[in-house]
Structure 1
Amino acid sequence: MVNRNWNASWIWGGEEESPRNEWRCFRKSFVPPQSAEGTAEQIPTVLRISADSRYVLYINGKQIGRGPVRSWTVEQFYDCYDIGHLLIPGQTNTIAVFVLHFGVSTFYYLRGRGGLLVQIDSLQESGAEMLLATDDAWKTSIHEGHHTRAPRMSCQQGFSEYVNAGLWPDHWIENGFDDQSWEKPCVIGEVGVGPWVSLKERDIPLLAEYPLYPSRIVSMNSVRSFTLSTAIDMRNHMVAGSENHANVVGFTGYAATILRAEEETGIILGLPFAGECVGSVSLNGNKLSEELFTGTMPERYASVKLMKGDNLLLIDVSGRMHTGKLHVSLYSESAIAWRSPLLAEEVGQQESKSPFISIGPFDSTFYLDHQTTREIDFEDKTYKEVIEKVAAVEDLAAYSDFIHEIDERYVSEADVFGLSVWKKESNPHPVPAALQHAVIPNAEAGIVPIYPGFDTELVIDFGKELTGYLSFEVEAEAGTILDFYGFEYMTEDYRQDTFGLDNTLRYVCREGRQQYVSPIRRGLRYLMLTVREAGRSVKLINVHYMANHYPIAEIGSFQCSDPLLNDIWEISRHTTKLCMEDTFVDCPAYEQVFWVGDSRNEALVSNYLFGVNDIVKRCLRLVPGSKDQTPLFADQVPSGWSSVIPNWTFFWAMACREYVEQTGDMDFAAEMYPHIRFTLEHYLKEINEEGLLAIKGWNLLDWSPIDQPNDGIVTHQNCFLVKTLRVAAEMAVFANDPNGHHRFTEAANLLQAAINHHLWSEEQSAYLDCVHVDGRRSDIFSVQTQVVAYLTGVAQADRSDIVESYLEEAPEHFVQIGSPFMSFFYYEALSKSGRNTAIVDDIRLNFGQMIEHDATTCWEMYPNFTENRANPNMLTRSHCHAWSAAPAYFLGHEVLGIRIAAIGWSEVDIRPEPSGLSWAKGSVPLPDAGRIDVSWKLLGDETIEIFVQYPESVKINIRIPEGYRGVIREKKLLV
């Protein structure tokens, strides 16, 4: 019997309700009761906990769990733990909670306020008895070792990590720690207090967590990098209120600082990520020409001269951007310091914590892709003249009304990303065999060599992509710096740096041996470790990862006569597993975001691999929570970015229908149908006088250059809306709404007719990509649009035959598919047309390229899509992207031929397609219990032998492939 009542209160500490990147510690000791007989027998005990934004929970010094799952702030989730076996009855026990509050909105979190909620109940025979609850009797303190000024990881995520181990004791989580000097927390209020209006129990299992060790240390170099570096959050400084959302912002203005040199000297000015916040750059009034800079974009480096004394550096940071982070670094052989221009005598200010100022913003705003928003004036005269007129500090006086100190909290102490990316000098050394002990799970230490005047850089290969939490031990002198940087791809002479993702951790050692487990989730394959400022040798021990993902059993399987397809299936499986956290996510490294449209395909793949349904249901239920942002529903949730991709909403509705088909859960159909009806009624308001969907939004389907403007009539999403309306009609039947069934069926028929009337080109015998908002008909035709028209059933009769022929032989001028995500729909269309061999051939071709490049997970894009990039070595952005794992679904669906034939998998068709293979075998999990096992092989006389094993509760229909004779063996499992 679990106590569902809450007596606990939300608590927090400090003076700020929502501090930026604050790490706070909480503790409470208590004595759990003994059994009724007075023995030390364990009593069932349940702990419930939630926090804003994230927590790590400890009992008597042992880590118990992490959480909570992502949620809309107004509907906060809490976790439950059975802790009776961890407590010592009749003695003092201690609960400790480490809470991180972001203080900014991200793509997976909406800014709330700092808070912790805990309640422990003893479940005795007489009933539930509360043992402990959060109140003002707890103790709390800032974790002084965690730097709040660490840079943002990305616009999608929170902050990177900067830890000084010498400033905080590790044993604060343990029983007996003296917390008398800690403050009492403030009580925010009882359960139901805002912003957490309601509480819901976690709706998925706790995530799996276990250690994974690296394969090897692959390289070692002695290096020298920048002597000064920082990263500045220009977004939050320049745009008031931008902490509260994650929308694209725009602003005009400049960042400025003084570079003080003790003597005339040459330096290297580094802008190691010039993708945002870097326009014109001037030094002492001299604008630095583009020819002066070296490096492949987005890296920019310039060799410049400083005069003795003060030199004014001015950078135009204007633009439209998401992250809005300025990376600035310097390399100098002489002493250089940056200093605030406000400290100059000409300005007269006597104190300044930050060395940087802004001139501006002259204007600022934010943008929504589905609404008309005000554009700022990038041609404003006052703004544009600054770069021409400001050559020295005294020139700033003319713009005094626009000058602001950049708050120190926005200016990082070091830019570890920049320090890791750029090297003034890098000398390779062989890796000592004994150093490999650092990555082997034994008691031996790897001794990191120290090179006078240089830092030591190691690159550790984990052997495959992973996601979770970095853990290591080290023995070093106090002040030794360990800079960690995770990335996904490298070759013998190329490293793909994660521009746009600050995937770093700086750890400053205390004296002696110490262990650290990062609370920040990161995805990577390779880990660069740079040891800096080491006065003596550094012992590195037990470097590993605590892998963390949704708990799954690997029930699905696939093997066949083609080793390449086996490798492709395996990277698809591994990709899907890594992208299952508390929701499906697009990737474990760059974003970790639940993209609504991506998850439709991910759910189908997961069905064929793991057969888990709670995560799918959770994802689908989260989407309607975005209705307060837009009735069209957002494309990633829960998120501070109020963005709409209409297709992603359509895919969500389809996924709801597919979930019902997968599980037979009609209660879920009745639950979700009102939400589908709600958003489709709003989409139908966007139907124009020609009967077509004409909408402003992010009208995306594929990364390739199809004509899909963000306003106007886009053919592929009109077609997908037809399919979605038909899905809504089916869901209306499940929900017993006959009027809705009629309404959506009629709307689908009308839209389909309008598409065929207005968006078909007789000249090209194809559907055009779009009609622009000015009425101009697109002259671009794409494979994608034809695929969608065929797949959704919009193309009928002769037109269906024509576009079906384009599936394998499209005209040369048609835009080709650019992403594995689009290939999922392409493969669905090929399957519909019975072109199974074409699916397998395309998988070999496109995914085979990934295997050739040592991929352990599926890439976001195909290599041929990146041919025109500035850097031809960059084969894709993200090397682990779940929207790309289609082979794990289609090899089971087509080659094994395992296909659902009735709701809830009560009936299954087995229709193997040899597709050039001589044998194949594998399994597909069932939603409730068991799995379907299929194996087949071709015999020499055009005979196929098929073996099927299945639960007796499932009806099986076995079909022999065309052109073969069949030998069928079946085995039923008793239920």
Structure 2
Amino acid sequence: MNIGRTWSAKWIWGGEEDRPRNEWRCFRKSFECPENGLKEAVLHISADSRYVLYVNGTQAGRGPVRSWPEEQSYDSYDVAHLLLPGRRNTIAVLVLHFGMSNFYYLLGQGALITELEGPSGVLLATDDSWGTSRLPGQQSSAPRMSCQQAFGEVIDARELPEHWTTDETAEGFQASGMGWEAARQVAAAGEGPWKKLVPRDIPFLTEEKVYPSAVISLCEVQPPAYAAAFDLKTIMLPESVWSANPIAYKAFLSVQVNVEKSCTFTIGFPTGAEGAVFLDGKKAVRSYGVEPERYDVFETSAGSHLVLIETESRYDHGSSWHLGFHADAPFTLSRPELASTALSGSATGTNADGNPFALIGPFATAERTQHWLDSPPLPDHPLYIQLREGVSPESLPELESWVKPLDTRLYTDQDVFGSSVWQTATRALAVPAQLQQMVVPAPEPAVLPGLAGDCEFVVDLGEQRSGYIGFELEAAAGTILDVYGIEHMEGDYRQHTYGLDNTISYICRDGRQSYLSPVRRGCRYLIVTVRQASAPVKLYEMYMNQSSYPLPQRGEFRCSDSLLNEIWQISRRTTKLCMEDTFVDCPAYEQTFWVGDARNEALVNYYVFGATDIVKRCLNLVPGSESRNPLYLDQVPSGWNSVIPNWTFFWMIACQEYVEHTDDSDYAKTIWPSVQSALEAYYEYIDDKGLLNIRSWNLLDWAPIDQPNSGVVTHQNLFFMKAMRLSAALAQRAGQSEQVSLWQERSEVLRTAINLHLWDEERQAFLDCIHEDGRRSEKFSVQTQVIACLCAVADGERKASIESHVLQPPVGWTQIGSPFMSFFYYEVLASLGRSDLLVDDIRLQYGRMLDHGATTCWEMYPSFKENRASSDMLTRSHCHAWSAAPGYFLGREILGVRPLDTGWRKVEIAPEPAGLRWASGAVPLPEQGEIKVAWSMNGDNMKLTVTAPEGIELDFKWPEGVKGSLEVKRVFLL
């Protein structure tokens, strides 16, 4: 209906900047609704970067979904039920413009386009008659959440308007006490960065208000006297906002510390630091901290002291960098007098008129693009070397030209993360029963205890969640509510989200108030700290609007082993939490659509939910990266020009699997040209030995496989061979008969070359790689043998040998290091008929997660030390869908439900007991219905009951050595 629609609306914006950093901008327009109302009213909307839509004050939607700017997605809402007949109605939109590229957005410019369509045509459309205003109280200097994402938030509710979405006086642009102005038109539809507007191709996400399960701790805490967060990447290279590529730099931050008396002065780095730190030219006499945190301690006398902090990075992707100061005596900060330029000024914790820091440098900068992992270090400038050696800046007059102030938008001293990680004092308190009232909203609020210090309490949401944090409270003006979401706690241990600033800082106005964040987050626990409260704080509710892809509960699995049942449930929950407008790797750290991850996630989804729209959408997004790199990017749509060849090969495989799953030959015809283009691009990297030899991020597993970023990597060659073979089958479905034989032949040629050059006779195994200089890898890994089996590269004795290495891994070989790699391992075990080993490994690896209270699947295995970001972290992400393999394999192997024909017209039922007494469940079919299986064992006898739709051919296969009785029930599809 909306494809190719003609827009009368214009893209609009306000203010003086086209691409402001982290600006939240309000738009609104009112109109008269007929006395009889409107039976039909559809509102079409898109924005750069994200929007929240309100109709007469009611939230009507969020969007848009991620897309390439060449095909900007728009949403359409039926809003007739929200309109007020015979009255003035208001359409209001809050637009969050990022102002920089990240892993799910490419920088365009701030803009909104909206059109309300009624039965007789367009009722209103965005143009210069709309009112606009920056949202008062939102601080654009709020910290960057992570390199993959946009921004957290610092909100001063004393300035925040309460009724701007409903106030009918806005036509005069003076509503709600805001500085309204007329919007300006920036482009017509189809112009500007957004070359084409295309309708949303998946359902809207749901929102469900969920409350905490408990308040689990209460403490009186003290933060450092000063804490700040910096965007060093943009400070060092302002033009880096146009890409999400990492950069390298060498520079110093400088600040003057003015202490009233002799004291111990500590400089803290809550997210870690590697560079040198000097106070009056002297390095710290004592440092401490649990990795990656670092704290440098100085003994200082009364007076002013110059602090220099080396900020060197080989690759900085853009996460917030945190810095704090604390002392046992009062102190202030001021800008150092290092140059005759206007750098004077002071600060005691406010950046209203600037900040106390000066930048010295950068002495060198470089953007890292495709081969960032192998990038050489930056050259050292003589002045930089002298400063690093402790030479006083005052003795370097030529340094003056290198000194400059920091852009205040790239710095904030409202640093919730730093103040939560670095607590200079804590006192644990018993949690009063009355405080638990916030778990289920009650008529009476929970009153927080009055403390001399700050009051911190921790809220458990009961399980990992993904959505929008909200709260309602009563407080005095100026009270600060800091909220910090984390994924894991165990005893007294808190796993801080290093690399993710998952925080909100909310400065209260006076009285009762509520707030719902428009920023999507993932977490399980909320660390909430109330600061500077001059009167008792009454908390009425704290919650999360759980936002999910709309999914019916179609897949089921239960068996006689309660551990496997719980593992299946956390696999299902993980998959759901990682289904947003695409599959995402995790809802907390990244919210990024990693192309390779999505192949495995799609298979799990087929078995636990049966959704196909989201899979198709993910597959379609990948070719949009071709203009950035013909090999296709590994995460899309993204400003990071990064390629993992295996991720593109997984995409090719997933295209074929989708067509086979849905029996959609039309889709094969649509996607084939893009698959062919990528195949041809990669085939250009076949060397004179007939092997894929490419310089890129040659990743498969986090484990220390010998997988260099240049040369011949065996697992990569194997997957390219398989991708070509399956792409030939895709070409067949697409009616491209001449391409079928071409890619079959090329696959076989590569198969021959792999066997000729990558086989090791002594070990009777495939080596990991051949380095760029011709050295054959001395390492051998289980991973390479698993992929060799999976891709069917070997026959006869070689095949038997690599299978034996998979079933009994040799001592000293690199072992599997991630649940992602285990997915391929389980595929091989299933093909070898070893469901017993598959189930045992699931029990072992996922059972360890459950031992630590997991409610979702982890990114890494807790037993694999090489994967850990620090000695205390069991894993980075505690909710990562590339790890949800049990959701697929328990249904496919234990229930034994497998397709034998395209579109599931013919299905094999081949249950595998694997030592279980009974199992039951359901596997969704692509369109409608499901296949239900229930079996139980009595000795060597199996009783099997299967319920399936009429018209689906069933092929039964009994486990080896088992006799059985079978009952088949049929249902009819509508």
Unaligned runs of 5+ in 2: 346-352
> Structure 1 residues 164-173 or 773-782, which shifts more?
164-173
Secondary structure of the equivalent of 1:314? strand
Q: Which residue of 1 aligns with 2:86?
A: 90
> Structure 1 residues 436-445 or 576-585, which shifts more?
436-445
Deviations 1:471-521 (A, max 9, x none): 110100000000000001111121110001001100000000001000011
- CA separation of 1:489/1:961 partners in 2, compared to 1, >3 Å: closer, same or farther? same
Secondary structure of the equivalent of 2:807? coil
Q: Which residue of 2 aligns with 1:936?
A: 935
Q: Which residue of 1 aligns with 2:261?
A: 263
Q: Which residue of 2 aligns with 1:306?
A: 300
- TM-score, normalised relative to structure 1: 0.96
> Structure 1 residues 866-875 or 439-448, which shifts more?
866-875
How far apart are the structure 2 equivalents of 1:625 and 1:248?
A: 21
- 2:130 matches 1:135: no
Query: What is the CA-CA distance between 1:902 and the residue it aligns to?
Result: 0.7
Q: Which residue of 2 aligns with 1:637?
A: 636
Secondary structure of the equivalent of 1:655? helix
- CA separation of 1:63/1:819 partners in 2, compared to 1, >3 Å: closer, same or farther? same
* Conserved? CA contact 2:278–2:390, under 8 Å: no
Query: What is the CA-CA distance between 1:868 and the residue it aligns to?
Result: 8.3
Q: Which residue of 2 aligns with 1:504?
A: 503
What code does the residue aligned with 2:359 have?
Answer: S
Q: Which residue of 2 aligns with 1:692?
A: 691
- Equivalent of 2:208 in 207, 210, 217: 210
How far apart are the structure 1 equivalents of 2:103 and 2:392?
A: 40
Q: Which residue of 1 aligns with 2:155?
A: 163
* Conserved? CA contact 1:866–1:876, under 8 Å: no
Correspondence 1:344-363 to 2 at 5 A: 349=343, 353-363=354-364
* Conserved? CA contact 2:234–2:318, under 8 Å: no
CA-atom RMSD in angstroms: 1.6
- TM-score, normalised relative to structure 2: 0.96
> Structure 1 residues 681-690 or 381-390, which shifts more?
381-390
Query: What is the CA-CA distance between 1:907 and the residue it aligns to?
Result: 1.1
Q: Which residue of 2 aligns with 1:424?
A: 424
Unaligned runs of 5+ in 1: none
Correspondence 1:463-862 to 2 at 5 A: 463-862=462-861
Q: Which residue of 1 aligns with 2:336?
A: 341
Deviations 1:442-499 (A, max 9, x none): 33311111212x1000011111000000011010000000000000111112111000
* Conserved? CA contact 2:766–2:780, under 8 Å: yes
- Equivalent of 2:68 in 66, 69, 72: 72
* Conserved? CA contact 1:631–1:679, under 8 Å: yes
Query: What is the CA-CA distance between 1:869 and the residue it aligns to?
Result: 5.2
What code does the residue aligned with 1:314 have?
Answer: L
Query: What is the CA-CA distance between 1:950 and the residue it aligns to?
Result: 0.9
Q: Which residue of 1 aligns with 2:972?
A: 974
Query: What is the CA-CA distance between 1:324 and the residue it aligns to?
Result: 5.7
- CA separation of 1:287/1:931 partners in 2, compared to 1, >3 Å: closer, same or farther? same
- CA separation of 1:208/1:166 partners in 2, compared to 1, >3 Å: closer, same or farther? same
How far apart are the structure 2 equivalents of 1:881 and 1:243?
A: 28
Secondary structure of the equivalent of 1:949? strand
How far apart are the structure 2 equivalents of 1:361 and 1:873?
A: 34
Secondary structure of the equivalent of 2:848? helix
- 2:44 matches 1:48: yes
Secondary structure of the equivalent of 2:670? helix
> Structure 1 residues 871-880 or 596-605, which shifts more?
871-880
Secondary structure of the equivalent of 2:506? strand
Query: What is the CA-CA distance between 1:77 and the residue it aligns to?
Result: 0.1
What code does the residue aligned with 2:336 have?
Answer: P
How far apart are the structure 2 equivalents of 1:415 and 1:61?
A: 32
- CA separation of 1:868/1:23 partners in 2, compared to 1, >3 Å: closer, same or farther? closer
- CA separation of 1:372/1:516 partners in 2, compared to 1, >3 Å: closer, same or farther? closer
Correspondence 1:56-205 to 2 at 5 A: 56-123=52-119, 128-176=120-168, 178=170, 179-180=173-174, 181-205=179-203
Q: Which residue of 2 aligns with 1:233?
A: 231
How far apart are the structure 2 equivalents of 1:239 and 1:345?
A: 21
- CA separation of 1:591/1:869 partners in 2, compared to 1, >3 Å: closer, same or farther? closer
Deviations 1:238-282 (A, max 9, x none): 12411011111111111111112233332221111115xx40111
* Conserved? CA contact 2:144–2:319, under 8 Å: no
Correspondence 1:913-928 to 2 at 5 A: 913-928=912-927
* Conserved? CA contact 2:868–2:874, under 8 Å: no
Secondary structure of the equivalent of 2:158? helix
- 2:434 matches 1:434: yes
- CA separation of 1:868/1:971 partners in 2, compared to 1, >3 Å: closer, same or farther? closer
How far apart are the structure 2 equivalents of 1:616 and 1:550?
A: 12
- CA separation of 1:118/1:869 partners in 2, compared to 1, >3 Å: closer, same or farther? closer
What code does the residue aligned with 1:12 have?
Answer: W
Q: Give the aligned length.
A: 958
How far apart are the structure 2 equivalents of 1:388 and 1:952?
A: 80
Secondary structure of the equivalent of 1:806? helix
* Conserved? CA contact 1:93–1:175, under 8 Å: no
* Conserved? CA contact 2:68–2:106, under 8 Å: yes
* Conserved? CA contact 1:365–1:375, under 8 Å: no
- CA separation of 1:958/1:497 partners in 2, compared to 1, >3 Å: closer, same or farther? same
* Conserved? CA contact 1:363–1:377, under 8 Å: yes
Q: Which residue of 1 aligns with 2:327?
A: 332
* Conserved? CA contact 1:931–1:951, under 8 Å: yes
Secondary structure of the equivalent of 1:256? strand
Q: Which residue of 1 aligns with 2:312?
A: 318
- CA separation of 1:349/1:210 partners in 2, compared to 1, >3 Å: closer, same or farther? closer
Query: What is the CA-CA distance between 1:358 and the residue it aligns to?
Result: 1.5
- 2:945 matches 1:947: yes
* Conserved? CA contact 1:602–1:882, under 8 Å: yes
> Structure 1 residues 367-376 or 395-404, which shifts more?
367-376
How far apart are the structure 2 equivalents of 1:372 and 1:457?
A: 40
- CA separation of 1:967/1:11 partners in 2, compared to 1, >3 Å: closer, same or farther? same
How far apart are the structure 1 equivalents of 2:563 and 2:143?
A: 42
Secondary structure of the equivalent of 1:531? strand
* Conserved? CA contact 1:229–1:328, under 8 Å: yes
Secondary structure of the equivalent of 1:605? helix
Query: What is the CA-CA distance between 1:613 and the residue it aligns to?
Result: 0.6
- CA separation of 1:957/1:444 partners in 2, compared to 1, >3 Å: closer, same or farther? farther
Secondary structure of the equivalent of 2:147? coil
Correspondence 1:424-463 to 2 at 5 A: 424-452=424-452, 454-463=453-462
How far apart are the structure 2 equivalents of 1:429 and 1:720?
A: 56
What code does the residue aligned with 1:455 have?
Answer: D
How far apart are the structure 2 equivalents of 1:372 and 1:535?
A: 51
Query: What is the CA-CA distance between 1:6 and the residue it aligns to?
Result: 0.6
Secondary structure of the equivalent of 2:631? coil
Q: Which residue of 1 aligns with 2:348?
A: none
Q: Which residue of 1 aligns with 2:402?
A: 402
Query: What is the CA-CA distance between 1:786 and the residue it aligns to?
Result: 0.2
How far apart are the structure 2 equivalents of 1:332 and 1:675?
A: 60
How far apart are the structure 2 equivalents of 1:577 and 1:89?
A: 39
What code does the residue aligned with 1:820 have?
Answer: P
Query: What is the CA-CA distance between 1:376 and the residue it aligns to?
Result: 5.1
Secondary structure of the equivalent of 2:355? coil
Secondary structure of the equivalent of 1:269? strand
- CA separation of 1:498/1:757 partners in 2, compared to 1, >3 Å: closer, same or farther? same
- CA separation of 1:475/1:324 partners in 2, compared to 1, >3 Å: closer, same or farther? closer
Q: Percent identity?
A: 50
- CA separation of 1:774/1:933 partners in 2, compared to 1, >3 Å: closer, same or farther? same
Query: What is the CA-CA distance between 1:396 and the residue it aligns to?
Result: 5.5
* Conserved? CA contact 1:312–1:391, under 8 Å: no
What code does the residue aligned with 1:709 have?
Answer: P
Query: What is the CA-CA distance between 1:348 and the residue it aligns to?
Result: 6.0
Secondary structure of the equivalent of 1:167? coil
